[in-house]
Each structure stands twice: as structure tokens, then as C-alpha cells.
Amino acid sequence: MEVPTTKVPEVRDITRMERIGAHSHIRGLGLDDALEARQVSQGMVGQKKARRAAGIITKMIKDGKIAGRAVLLAGQPGTGKTAIAMGIAQSLGPDTPFTAMSGSEIFSLEMGKTEALTQAFRKSIGVRIKEESEIIEGEVVEVQVDRPATGTGAKVGKLTLKTTEMETIYDLGTKMIESVTKEKVQAGDVITIDKATGKISRLGRSFTRARDYDAMGPQTKFVQCPEGELQKRKEVVHTVSLHEIDVINSRTQGFLALFSGDTGEIKTEVREQINTKVAEWREEGKADIVPGVLFVDEVHMLDIECFSFLNRALESDMAPLLIMATNRGITKIRGTNYKSPHGLPIDLLDRLLIISTSPYEEKDLEQILKIRCEEEDVEMSEDALTVLTKIAQETSLRYAIHLITSSNLCCRKRKGTEVDVEDIKKVYSLFFDQGRSTQFLREYQQEFMFNEEELTPSMDIS
């Protein structure tokens, strides 16, 4: 008789550490079911056209139709390019690999530029490996462990399990008795036993024992008594990146190499063998390729050699989606004397879907600042928020966001509960923005070293 196959949810024991960062308030792209951008949703504000375009890209990634292509987020500083990339990452969920890096990172690593980019590419490609194992799942009716009267010799035990349709008694060996004792299995628990390893997992208490809730405590989880056969097939799915497989196979210490930090350069022969093996797994149905996303911020920092590599790498049959961001206009391509839009070669620009971001309006700036106040747990009065929005308009959004935490410190210093206009004024006078700093240099440049250099027109902020 064929054993039925059931899907058993994967249990995640890792607790993610959350901290407040520049984009920690982003929860997604803030789109509705028709991929239309809401004005304010999931931490995203404004930039409706750019967010809608990013939503279409996200849909194509989920459908597996855009691997090996590239997207460029282009716009002025502080217009939400990185926020949109983070929104895409959040929308894709934890199962789609997402790697973020800055264009300048590859020059600080102790390896070649193309090797650093290759590793980044392979970190962004997941391999979903499927395994099947047999399990016994049921509600514990009785646990009986007999100890020899003499006090010496092996323990013997019996475990009675039931489902809604059947009940069976299993004889327990010494190791299984130890596992049952260690897991503190008792009557009324719903457990699973992996037949291959003998590992016992407690899923919770049966609903039939709900009347004993007061004796259990609030942390007790109640589950239904399993249905059908006691023996089932469980399909376990592991998702690893190609880079992790590379590291494990290129080091003598195996998977422990993942924890050593410095991976170094990996030989081409190792990667070719892994590609061949993964291709075999795909044909046999043991594994699926999950093309993810590689996000390169400040992409204009890459040089002409890196751009040539990207052109070639995007043509590979196992390439992720490449998302790039830049705030440059027409500027020199690094490593050449030629100027080009966004500092990228024309042949690479031809391959890109370009999403443009535009400056925020006043109401958008106010809404973003309000979200940041909530994220940083800062109470701010309406008047103070209006003043801060005005500052953001005249200087920059980033500068205004920096003032939130510092103004809150001033508020706490005077034992206030809400940041008011005076607190904003105080920190505004303490910390200069770019424009006032440039003005200060103009007035006192004779007092500084190397003052014979004139300010260039691009530095003229006033």
C-alpha cells in the first residue's frame, strides 16, 4: 500500500534581530491587487509611477520571467531609490534570494573584481532541493517505560499513538526511550517521529486536553488530532544559494567554511562541476533553480571592466535579476575618459529597463517624516512637524530625518514629552546642512588650509 504524501510546514527556530535603520520602516511596495500604488502604504510614500513599475518587475520575478535582465533606478539623491529596492526585497519574501551591495565594495575585497561580482551573482541564485522522508505522526495515548526490578539492564517501553482513524502500539528501544524522556512526551501530546533519524518533534497538545488548559500555562499550543494513516511521507525543502554550495565544495572543512568569513577566490573548475550537478538535479526533479535579485547601489562606482563583465554575465542561463541604482547625471565612465548618461556604458544602458524617480512634494515629505517619527518612537507636535517639513524642502530629506532623533534628545533633556518648534530650532542651529556649511566656508575660507582653490559651480548651493 502506497504511503500518502503530506506537506509538513517547516519550523524556523531563528529569531531575527530588528534594529532601526534608514529603511527599516519599509514593509513592501505599497501596491494593491491591480499593482496600483497607494499614496501611503507599507512605509512607502509618493513615487507612484516608480513603485508601479517596480511592482510589475516584482510580479515578473515571482513568475520567473525576468531572470538575466537588468533594471536601473535613476534619480536625484534622496528620492527613494534604495527604499524602492528594499520594497522589492520585502515583497518577494524570504524564499527569493536577495543580495544587496554597494558599487565601491568590490574594490575593498581581497579578491579580483570579477570574482567579487561572480560571488555576488551566485549568492542571488537559489537552489531549492527537495527531500522525502517517512514520518509517524499521531496523538500520544500512553507512554509506558518499564525499568528492570534489579536496577540494571536495558529499559523497555511501549508508545501508543492514534489518529482519528487508527491506533497502534510501538515497542521502544533504549535510544527512543531516551528521546521520549528528553522531550518530556506525555499522553495528550501530538508528536512526529522521523523514521530515518528517530528524531521526535512535539507539535503541541491535542484539543481533547483543552480542559486541562489552566494546568498547562498560556504558552501551550493546541492542535487537532492528525487524520488518516499514522505513517506519512514528508517532503522537506531546503533552499541554499549557489555561492553556499561553491564554498562548501571548495574548502576542506566542508560546510564549516560558511562560518569562516573569508571565502577567498573559488576555482572555475569547482563552479563548472557544481553547475553540471545542479543541472542533473533539475532534470531528475530533485531541485529547482530560484533566480533571485542582486541590488547594486551607487553603480556608477564600478569601472569599465566591471561593466564588461556584467554585460557577459547577464547572458548566462543562470543569472539573477540585476537591479542598479545611481544618482549621477551625464558623467565619466570610471576607468575611461568618455562621458555617458548615469556613468554607464551605452551598450549596458541598452539592456536596462530604466525606472526614474522624481523629487518629493511637500505633502509627501511631511508624511515620510511622520512615518520616521513613528519608527523612531518620537512624539512630535504638528507645528514642529511643519517646521521640519519646511527644512526638508529647503535642505534635504536626509538632513531633516537626522534632526528627528537629535531633537528628541533635546526634548528629553528638558524633560518634555513632545518635540516642539524650539527643539527643532536648537538642533538646526547646532548641526549645519550642506548649504550653510558651504556658506560658512565662503565667509571664512581664508582661515582654512588650501584656500587658494575656488569653489566649483557644482558646489554652489545658495
Helix ranges (H only) for 338-458 are 346-349, 362-375, 382-394, 397-413, 421-430, 434-444
- Please list, in sequence order, all residues whose beta carbon lies within 8 angstroms of the beta carbon of residue 341, skipping any fewer than 6 positions away: 329, 330, 349
Look at residue 272 and give its three-state secondary structure: helix
pLDDT at 44: 83
For the chain, how many residues are written?
Answer: 462
Say which residue the cell 535510544 belongs to: 175
Q: Which parts of the chain have pLDDT scores under 70?
A: 1-22, 149-153, 209-219, 251-263, 450-462
Spell out the domain ranges in the chain: 40-96+292-356, 131-236, 362-446
One DSSP character per residue, 208-245 reads GGGGGHHHH-TTPPEEPPP-S-SEEEEEEEEEEEHHHH
Task: Provide the pLDDT for residue 12.
Answer: 41
Q: In the CATH scheme, what is the code of domain 362-446? A: 1.10.8.60
Range 40-96+292-356 classified under CATH 3.30.565.10:
no
- Whether the CA torsion 366, 371, 376, 381 is positive or negative: it is positive
In this prediction, residue 344 carries a pLDDT of: 92
Q: What share of the chain is helix, strand, coil (3-state, %, to 5)?
A: 40, 25, 40
- Enclosing H/E stretch for 174: helix 174-182
Residue with cell 521502544: 172
Residue 77 C-alpha cell reads as 539623491
Residue 161, strand partner residues: 140, 168
131-236: which CATH architecture? Beta Barrel (2.40)
Helices (H), 24-130: 48-62, 81-92, 113-123
Question: Residue 448: which residues within 8 A CB-CB, separation 6 or more?
Answer: 441
Q: What is the DSSP letter of 419?
A: B
At residue 128, what are phi and psi to the nearest 5 degrees?
-95, 110
Residue 459 DSSP one-character state? G
Q: Residue 291: what pLDDT?
A: 81
- DSSP result, 297-362: ESGGGS-HHHHHHHHHHTTSTT--EEEEEE---EEEPTTSS-EEETT--HHHHTTEEEEE--PPPH
**120 vs 34, 69, 236, CA distance in Å?**
33, 15, 27
